[in-house]
Structure 1
């Protein structure tokens, strides 16, 4: 399972341990949904200005957010894609927002990044939180993934 991690921000250091953590979270999400562990996921760490520009462009919301997901498997498959690699999509996480939220919620920065990674991964797998039922399903799945990896508050 290739998780391709890119760091496009300079505000916070990205240690190897954080990269291994997000890789483990993505793999656990795929495993929990019986999805191919060979799926390719891009995970990009950015700052608030970068994610704000993406949020404005793709969602019409001109403010920073914590995580955005861009699924490659939405809509109907193109004929030439049938034999290609399984490109699941990209997850974009604002590390400064994750740091602020970790302080606000009273848990570690690593736990917050892991949670946002699980949240983004579930979006790539087709889950959403547009209503109360979807929100509960996603929250339960996110917490289950973190619990399996022993990532606590």
Structure 2
């Protein structure tokens, strides 16, 4: 288990915390970062909408929200919130396994903590290419992150 990493999920979601820790450990190696504190929270759409409205002023569902409290990009103090409902929709839409979509959202959040931005098309392309690379490098570690129905 990685010191400083907490994984939380609503009771209805069966998250494999050990495998989330394993994936984050692999990302630490590939991306060279440290964790002072990192919380990964798996929530439903209502919760992510409330957070999106309250803290970002956005009135819509989203798949991932990242809060970075650190002044250092390679020493994390932050939170990643992932909507399981949106992850399921994305997995179906893009025809990928839910575990791969969950991993992509974790990776996306980690990249935001490292300072990556996806607010314009050029930056979005760069960030997406890193996501794809990290998904491919870690394929065998993407199993059993979440139990599917």
Fold match (TM-score > 0.5)? yes
2:20 maps to what in 1? 22
Of 35, 39, 42 in structure 2, the residue corresponding to residue 42 of structure 1 is: 39
- Residues 113-122 or 86-95, more deviating: 86-95
Return structure 1 stretches of 4+ with deviation > 6 angstroms.
none
Q: How much does 1:149 deviate?
A: 0.9
Secondary structure of 2:82 counterpart = strand
**Is structure 2 residue 136 aligned with structure 1 residue 147?**
yes
Distance 1:94 1:4, change over 3 A: same
Q: How much does 1:88 deviate?
A: 2.4
Q: Which has the larger radius of gyration?
A: 1
Secondary structure of 1:65 counterpart = coil
CA deviations 1:29-77 (Å, max 9, x no partner) are 33222223x44311001000000001011211112110000011148xx
Unaligned runs of 5+ in 2: 143-149
* TM-score, length-scaled by structure 2: 0.81
1:103 maps to what in 2? 92
Distance 1:31 1:40, change over 3 A: farther
Unaligned runs of 5+ in 1: 76-85
Paired residues in the alignment total 137
